[in-house]
Amino acid sequence: MINLLPPTEKDNLRREEKRRLAFIWGVFVLFFLIAGSVVLFSLNIYLAGEVAGLKILVDYEQQKSLTLEAKNVEKEISAINQNLAELDAFYQRQPRVAALFQRISEIVPEEIYLNSLSLDFSKGKNDRFQVSLTGRSVTREALLNFKKILESESGFQGIYFPSSSWVKPSDINFSVSFELAI
């Protein structure tokens, strides 16, 4: 077919065709932009819901973790308190050694000199423990007086002087053992 249109008309037709093509492409691109925006907006709403749900789960797990951690700390504190109570009970059951030394030093006569003091906590029965003393007495009478003092004191039981302690009349090296109540 032969085109008999003048060149200006041909140019107008080409421009009109290009305008239509540009308009179609513009509508096409606009349609895809709107459709993409709708898809992205719906995806945004969906992901926001998912993030909110995950945030709730994370908060729940953190609370659960904190609760579990608090329970573990509470158990640890309870165990430490129990250990401290046992330690306190142990120290309460132990004899007061300073009080024992003071009590013995108060009852020992001036003519008696102590060389050693031995305490055995394992041989005692119930709330008693074994005490052994060695020393020197100026006279037998002073040693006999010491024995009477021990026998008259409350808490001293099972007082035993070996017979070798009574042989010499003066300058006597003696030993005595007894049980003492705590």
> What is the extent of the structural domain holding 151?
97-181
Q: Does 3 lie in the same domain as 26? A: yes
Q: What is the pLDDT of residue 91?
A: 77
Q: Does 155 lie in the same domain as 82? A: no
Q: Does 82 lie in the same domain as 107? A: no
Q: Does 118 lie in the same domain as 141? A: yes
Q: Does 131 lie in the same domain as 50? A: no
pTM value > 0.75? no
Q: Does 104 lie in the same domain as 84? A: no
**In which region does residue 158 sit, left (phi positive, over 0), alpha (psi from -120 to 50) or beta (all else)?**
left
Q: Does 158 lie in the same domain as 128? A: yes
Domain count, the chain: 2
| Alpha carbon distance 83, 93 (integer Å) | 15
Tell me the HSE value of 75 on the side-chain side, using a 13 A CA sphere: 6
Residue 52 pLDDT > 80, yes or no?
Answer: yes
| Alpha carbon distance 30, 27 (integer Å) | 5
- The angle, 0 to 180 degrees and rounded to 10, between the axes of the packed helices 97-107 and 140-152 is 130
Domain end position, chosen among 93, 112, 142: 93
Q: Which residues pair with 181 in a beta bridge?
A: 128
| Alpha carbon distance 48, 90 (integer Å) | 62
Q: Does 72 lie in the same domain as 105? A: no
34: tokens are 């709107």
Q: Does 113 lie in the same domain as 165? A: yes
Domain end position, chosen among 74, 93, 112: 93
Residue 166 pLDDT > 90, yes or no?
Answer: no
Q: Does 102 lie in the same domain as 45? A: no
Domain end position, chosen among 36, 62, 93: 93
Q: Does 101 lie in the same domain as 38? A: no
31-56 average pLDDT score: 95
Query: What digits encode the pLDDT tens for the residues 101-156?
Result: 888 888 888 889 999 988 887 655 566 778 899 999 998 898 899 899 888 888 88
Query: What digits encode the pLDDT tens for the residues 7-32?
Result: 899 899 999 999 999 999 999 999 99
What's the CATH code of the domain at 140?
A: 3.30.1360.100
Query: What digits encode the pLDDT tens for the residues 57-116?
Result: 999 999 988 898 889 999 999 999 999 999 888 777 666 677 778 888 888 888 899 999
Q: Does 164 lie in the same domain as 84? A: no
Binned at pLDDT 50, 70 and 90, residue 170 comes out as confident
| Alpha carbon distance 168, 163 (integer Å) | 10
